[in-house]
Amino acid sequence: MRKHDMVPDHSFFEGLVACVAAIAPKDHYKNLEEGSIVLKKSKTFSFCEEGVHVEGECTPIKSDIVIFGTGFKGDQKIKDIFTSEYFQSIAVGSTSMTVPLYRECIHPKIPQLAVIGYSESLTNIYTAELMAKWISHFMDGGFRLPSVREMERDVLEWEKFMKRYSRDYFRRSCIGIVNIWYNDQLCQDMGCNPRRKKGFFSELFEPYGPCDYLNLHPK
């Protein structure tokens, strides 16, 4: 297998597949000015040991993390990341199944690739933020992924659920009807208490929303 057929070990890719409004994180513009974050628009790209080649650059951009803003029609753009026909065939699965992502983020057989925002929810922005925190905590060594077999089993259970309740729209994997349950899974993986309310009755009767996850600090 050629080296560029697979995502290099030192790189991590986060595909923003859904159309989600952007909110700049803390120190974003400062990092842009310092050059620790580089923004490039390019229709083509390729990888090498030093980083990534993009249009208009004579030398590779040295990078530890590459984030793709794929916009609409993310399926094809995710497949196009790879030159290997095998990885192209498994990256987003077939149209008869849900996109095979563990926790709706990571492909069991391509753990170097993370996808954020493909699954829709009631409030996409805060769900995407939780996904990003989960990915960041994983990259920092905060937890280990289950085995490939366990992740594939989890993906299959999710697919069965989506086909049962979403019928013809299962492919989009909308987590809206199980949003709190989904957030609980991410919290538990990060070592955070999924019960975010203060008090027994608040937990029972108050609705959950973005404010409940503001002070989420993974262990």
Q: Which of 53, 70, 87 is the last residue of a domain?
A: 70
User: Is the same domain home to 141 and 180?
Assistant: yes
Cβ within 8 Å of residue 49, ≥6 positions away: 3, 8
User: Is the same domain home to 60 and 160?
Assistant: no
Residue 97 inside a domain? The answer is yes
Residue 23 inside a domain? The answer is no
User: Is the same domain home to 104 and 58?
Assistant: no
User: Is the same domain home to 98 and 112?
Assistant: yes
Range of 93's domain? Answer: 74-212
**What confidence score (pLDDT) does residue 188 get?**
94
Distance of CA 45 to the CA centre of its chain: 20
**What confidence score (pLDDT) does residue 185 get?**
94
Residue that has been written with the tokens 């990888």 in this structure? 47
**What confidence score (pLDDT) does residue 23 get?**
58
User: Is the same domain home to 130 and 60?
Assistant: no
CA distance 109 to 100: 9
Residue 202 inside a domain? The answer is yes
Residue 7 inside a domain? The answer is no
Of 16, 21, 61, nearest to 40 (Cα)? Answer: 61
The domain that holds 94 is classified in CATH as 3.50.50.60
* SS3 sequence of 49-77: CCEEEECCCCCCEECCCEEECCCCCHHHH
User: Is the same domain home to 86 and 123?
Assistant: yes
User: Is the same domain home to 103 and 184?
Assistant: yes
User: Is the same domain home to 103 and 155?
Assistant: yes
| Residue pLDDT tens, the chain, 219 long | 333 333 333 333 333 333 444 456 678 889 889 888 888 888 777 788 888 888 888 888 888 888 887 767 778 888 887 878 898 899 888 888 888 999 999 999 998 888 888 877 766 777 888 999 999 999 999 999 999 999 999 999 988 888 887 777 777 667 877 888 999 999 999 999 999 898 889 988 898 888 888 888 877
**What confidence score (pLDDT) does residue 108 get?**
94
**Do 37 and 140 touch, CB atoms closer than 8 A?**
no
Residue 52 inside a domain? The answer is yes
Residue 53 inside a domain? The answer is yes
User: Is the same domain home to 133 and 59?
Assistant: no
Count of domains for the chain: 2
Residue 30 inside a domain? The answer is no
User: Is the same domain home to 90 and 116?
Assistant: yes
User: Is the same domain home to 122 and 182?
Assistant: yes
CA distance 177 to 119: 12
Residue 19 inside a domain? The answer is no
User: Is the same domain home to 85 and 155?
Assistant: yes
Cβ within 8 Å of residue 131, ≥6 positions away: 103, 104, 105, 116, 117, 186
**What confidence score (pLDDT) does residue 144 get?**
94
CA distance 74 to 117: 10
